[in-house]
Amino acid sequence: MEKKLLKAFQKVLFTPKKIIIIPHKNPDGDALGSSLALNTFLNKTGHDSCVIAPNEYPEFLNWMPGQEQIKKFSQTPDESTQMIENSDIIFTLDFNQLSRIDQMALVVERSIAEKIMIDHHEHPGDYASISYSDTNKGSTCEMIYELISGLDHDQIDVTIATCLYTGIMTDTGSFRFPSTTAKTHQVVSILIEKGAQPHLIHQKIYDTYSFSRLKLLGTALNNIKKINGIPVVYITLSQKELIINKFKKGDTEGFVNYGLSLRGVSLAVIMIENETEKIIKMSFRSKGSFDVNYFAKKYFNGGGHVNAAGGVSDLTLNETVDQFLKAIAYEKSQFNI
């Protein structure tokens, strides 16, 4: 990271501060890993820091070191609000628009605390007084590594290393997305030296399917559809199918990637019905030049990265499929076919 930016961090963290760290809603391995690693570092270096997540996180992350101390805004709104109001600094990690933290956004906007954004998504907002934004980085965890390493490298212990390794591994698709660089591997090598155990972390994240989750994957794969003439596949999951397969939060994580494992396919999409929130949640994954960040933003009120993005639709599942098919027909020149 730039020297000037590091100096700005050194300056705000020079004296002990009351700090709140916020990952995005429905936090993933990167959001949670970066928050927990930074939280451990800050508490070790004389600050009073706490992670408040907007809501629940999936079961496959509930082993991460320090996660048991995370507060959930959705469960304790009054206490969380008070903590945010009393804080000197608010870190927002792995997102760059306050809309990504739902009702917490109002509390954060209202607070007089210094706001710091650390994130790797496209099109950062300007709500923070310090923004460490780098869209070339594969994960926020790699950025937190840079920050901690710059501030006090010796503080990186097995807890910090494990949390950072988890986020780097999950956000780079286990080191296979184009965002994986030589630097990523250098960082990961140091994290392993500091005690992160790749095989155990991998097992904890990926080899913990419940029987019903694997059956749900079967349903999703059964529902996959190709679009004639363009290298696109899409998967739908209705609320009924989720219920039959005893859906739990996080169960559909990674399903969309199976579409991209098909030869010649360069865009895979999953559309999942959520009757409680009355939305269809969509995930987009691409290979090559098809820009899903642009696509999700333009058609489905979402965003993310060039090759991985998400969005939402307020229509029914069938209507969403129709809208998607129209949108993709309109954008098909992006596939260079």
Footprint of ligand 5GP on this chain (CB under 6 A)? 121, 283, 302-305, 308-312
| In the complex, minimum distance from the CB of residue 285 to ligand 5GP, in angstroms, rounded to a whole number | 7
Q: How many CB atoms lie within 10 A of CB 227?
A: 17
Applying the rule CB under 5 A, the residues between 276 and 305 that interact with Mn ion are none
Query: Quick one: 28 or 331, whose CB is closer to ligand 5GP?
Result: 28
Shortest Cβ distance from residue 12 to ligand 5GP (Å)?
Answer: 26
* Residues within window 18-37 making contact with Mn ion, judged by CB under 5 A: 30
Using only C-alpha atoms, the chain has a radius of gyration, in whole angstroms, of 20
Question: Among Mn ion, ligand 5GP, none, what does residue 306 contact (CB within 5–8 Å per kind)?
Answer: none
- Ramachandran angles phi, psi of 39, nearest 5°: -60, -45
Exposure of 117 by Cβ count < 10 A (0-12 exposed, 13-18 middle, 19+ buried)? buried
Query: What does the alpha-carbon distance between residue 285 and residue 28 come to, in Å, rounded to a whole number?
Result: 16
d(CA 116, CA 130): 5
Nearer residue to ligand 5GP within complex by CB, 213 or 305:
305
- Choice between 43 and 174, CB closer to ligand 5GP: 174
Three-class DSSP category at 72: strand
d(CA 281, CA 298): 15
Task: Give 2 or 109: the residue with its C-beta nearer to ligand 5GP.
Answer: 109
Residue closest to ligand 5GP when measured from CB atoms: 310
Give, as ranges, the residues between 151 and 190 that touch Mn ion (CB under 5 A): 171
- Closer to Mn ion at the Cβ: 140 or 252? 140
CA gap 283, 28 in Å, rounded: 14
Residues lying near Mn ion in the complex (CB under 5 A) are found at: 30, 94, 140, 171
